[in-house]
Structure 1
Amino acid sequence: MTRSSALPDTPTPLPRHLAVLVLLCMGCAFAGNHVAARVAFDDGAGVLLAILMRSGGTLLVLAMMVLWQRQNLRLPAGAWRWQLTLGLLIGAQSLCLYSAVARVPVALALLVANVFPILLALLTWALGGPRPTARTAALMGMILVGLVFVLEVPTRLSSEQSVGPQWLLGVCLAFCAACVFACALWITDHKLSQAHGSVRSLLTIAIVFSSVNLAGLTGALPGGFDLPATSTGWFALATLVVLYGTGFIVLFISIPRLDMPRNAPVMNIEPLATLLIGWLVLDQMLNPGQVLGGAIVVTGIVMLTYRKTKRVEAAVADATD
């Protein structure tokens, strides 16, 4: 590692109870961001508009931080194409996840999207990494069983009623978000690990912001820049920007002191917080079988990621749903 890309001396970690509290608050902030997005979409706001505002606000703050730190924006040789790919993947992940949130209950979308650790483990294996252990395979099976309950597969198969195109599309989009995010984490871990975290994060958000603008200007997603119909939608968009920006920046600043390899699984509070906030704000509630499935999924993800969180430290500031 060159001197310019070396990280400063590691700060003293926070006491574990404070680190856990910060991560719990950040998980709840990201959950609130998705619920606020659904409120805005229900009021007529376009998906691209929400992503543009979210990424724009975060980009502005992050750019000021990088300038204040006087960070060099140069990347290691050969890293630019991977940085561009990472930014486009994160943009696609945001688009898929927000589009899913607009179509299905927010908690359901988040639970499906949070299967990315399974996909990351399989992708790493397929690209020459270590083969998943028997423990990992068992936990993957446990998560999939939980998803069967979350998606009510037995009930829907036995029902004569049609699943509905919006439900099916929403679930598929959430799964696509998981696939894209797994690819983004692999690139961060294997191709951009030498890049300074703040520079990588700034460039990633800048690419997301630029790609969303381009998609809107070219009309690639009709209605993507539609404005909210009432003040409720505008307030939801403002809340979305504040919650996501706060969560992103606080997490970005605090990562060196949060002992992420030990504490990162706490961030899996997000789907459960989404379930509670979605019930309070949107009156969206999963049935008991789905709640049980959600608990199985979250438990499996926590156990699966408990020993695999080093890559989260590098990537969590680049994106998160």
Structure 2
Amino acid sequence: MQSSSLPHRTAVAVLLTVGSLFAANHVAARLAFDDQAGLLLAVLCRSGLALLALVAFVLWQQPRLRLAPGLAKWQIILGLLIALQSLCLYSAVARIPVALALLIGNTFPILLALLTWLLGGPPPTRRACVLMGVILCGLVLVLDLPAWLSSSGRITPAWRLGVGFAFAGACLFACGLWITEHRLSALPGAVRSLYTIVIVFCGMLLAGAAGLVPGGMNPPASGSGWLALLALSVLYATAFSVLFICVPRLNMARNAPVMNIEPVASLLFAWLMLDQVFGGMQLLGGAVVLGSIVMLAYSRRA
């Protein structure tokens, strides 16, 4: 409700904080992976703590948890998509610079617009098409493709895999958003989020027990790795809880693009904690991508 919305500056400050917490979570994840922590273990810890926070919220709100006929299959699909998206994004973070992984992952608005059009929705506007093209050009600069094409030895298998995982994560997230908007929009957010995180948590347990991801449940090699795992779990659960509780008062239709602070914050945190730096041309490309994504988000809402 507009009457209960937070003041604009307060809402922006909350979203900037949440985006920065999500960015710090990914940097902590990279620290854990560098200490031999498994992907499944990281997602399991993250989703487990977020699940506890969400259960507390649901017990407080006491929404109706029963799903209407026909929604269960879409809820299961959504949970599986988010589980795979989490694995893909963390797999990218483990292989390429954190900010690069998040920039590629944040191209999901393009994929969502194209998916909506493909499935019978309205086509992207001319303005949206131009912005999508600008985003792709910016990604060419961020990925430093001209330099790599002139010196193919710099393209490592880990780099290819990292970029591929980041793009796959963007595709999965776009599909999840389409299902949320077009198949589960009638479901209360608390219920949808609860079931989604339950599926992610159980999926990680089952994948770990079945050995589907080699080394996926490996513990960190040292105390610093365990500390990084704890940090990524607390950071994610805190950001998730603050966003979830405050979202009705944040006027997301107007302020959601502020969340694109995440790649920028990750660039700063990765520089401080991981010594990951970008060249001038890559920074320019990142600014082009980020600015175009914000403009695309505002134009879609308009």
So what's the TM-score if we normalise by structure 1?
A: 0.92
In 2, are the aligned partners of 1:152 and 1:290 still within 8 Å (CA)? yes
Aligned to 1:289: 281
Do the aligned partners of 2:99 and 2:263 also contact (CA within 8 Å) in 1? Answer: yes
1:216 match:
208
Structure 1 residues 6-28: Cα deviation after superposition (integer angstroms, max 9, x where no partner): xxx67600000000000000000
Deviations 1:164-214 (A, max 9, x none): 100000000000000000000000000000001100000000000001111
Q: What is the CA-CA distance between 1:283 and the residue it aligns to?
A: 0.4
Structure 2 matches for 1:1-321, cutoff 5 A? 12-309=4-301
Alpha-carbon separation, structure 1, partners of 2:300 and 2:271:
32
Q: Deviations over 1:41-60 (max 9, x none)?
A: 00110010000000001111
- Aligned-residue sequence identity (percent) comes to 60
Q: Is the 8 A contact 1:27 1:268 kept in 2?
A: yes
The letter of the residue matching 1:24 is L
Q: Give the SS at the match of 1:35.
A: helix
Structure 1 stretches of at least 4 aligned residues deviating more than 4 Å after TM superposition: none
Give deviations 1:249-302, integer Å, cap 9, x for gaps: 100000000000000000000000000000000000111111110000000100
Cα offset for 1:76? 2.2
* Shift of residue 67, structure 1, vs aligned partner: 1.6
Report the more deviating stretch, 61-70 or 171-180: 61-70
> What does the per-residue CA deviation read over 1:119-155, in whole Å, with 9 as the maximum and x for residues that have no partner?
0000000000001110000000000000000111111
Q: Does the 8 Å contact 2:11/2:250 carry over to 1?
A: yes
Matched-pair contact (CA < 8 Å) for 1:11–1:256: no
Structure 1 residues 10 and 299, CA gap change in structure 2 (3 angstroms):
closer
Q: Is the 8 A contact 2:128 2:299 kept in 1?
A: no
**CA separation in 1, counterparts of 2:40 and 2:153?**
33
Q: Which structure has greater helix proportion?
A: 2
Shift of 1:68: 2.0
Q: CA deviation at 1:306?
A: 1.0
User: Which amino acid counterpart does residue 145 of structure 1 have in structure 2?
Assistant: C
Q: Which amino acid aligns with 2:225?
A: G
- Whether contact under 8 Å (1:48, 1:212) holds in the other structure is yes
Distance of 2:267 and 2:165 partners within structure 1 = 19
User: Is the 8 Å Cα contact of residues 96 and 173 (structure 1) preserved in structure 2?
Assistant: yes
**Cα pair 1:10 1:256 within 8 Å, conserved:** no
Unaligned runs of 5+ in 2: none
- Aligned residue pairs total 302
Question: Any gaps of 5 or more consecutive residues in structure 1?
Answer: 1-8, 311-321
Q: 3-state SS of the aligned residue for 2:86?
A: helix
Post-superposition offset of 1:308: 2.9
Distance 1:40 1:111 in 2: 21
State the one-letter code of the partner of 1:78.
G
Question: Is the 1:111–1:271 Cα contact (8 Å) retained in structure 2?
Answer: yes
Amino acid at match of 1:296: V
Return the letter of the residue paired with 1:224: G
Considering only aligned residues, what root-mean-square deviation do their CA atoms show, in Å? 1.1
3-state secondary structure, aligned to 1:307: helix
Q: Call closer, same or farther: CA 1:11–1:232 in 2, change over 3 Å.
A: farther
For 1:309 and 1:176, locate their aligned partners in 2 and report how far apart those are by CA, in whole Å: 25
Q: Which amino acid counterpart does residue 78 of structure 2 have in structure 1?
A: L
- Cα offset, 1:222, TM superposition: 1.0
